[in-house]
Amino acid sequence: MYDTTDPRPPLPEWILECYTFLCEQEVDEDASSFSREQALDSLLEAQTLELEPEDVNHALTRLLERGYLYEVDDKLRVTTPSE
């Protein structure tokens, strides 16, 4: 479900699940950034998501386009909405 207080545009639920997964991975591994390849591998290995490589590439692209992720020096970082 889309949070109306979140300033970012809504995305399909399955893409938001990818975003949530990446947020959890970032916290678990205490990493502030990760490569697109690392994100791709992590999302493909996630048993709860069951995605194809094309789906993951699309999700990462949409997350970047909509501001859920941003890229610095070929590394992806998670954007969290301000509270």
State which amino acid sits at residue 38.
Answer: Q
Ordered per-residue pLDDT tens for the chain, 83 residues: 456 666 766 789 999 999 999 988 865 555 678 899 999 999 999 888 889 999 999 999 999 999 899 999 999 998 876 54
Q: Could you say which DSSP state residue 57 is in? A: H
Is it true that domain 13-78 has CATH number 1.10.10?
A: yes
Paired tokens of 56: 């993951």
pLDDT tens, residue by residue, 68-79: 999 999 999 988
Report the sign of the C-alpha dihedral through residues 45, 43, 52, 12, in that order.
Answer: positive
Domain ranges of the chain: 13-78
Angle at 80 between CA 69 and CA 46, to 5 degrees: 60
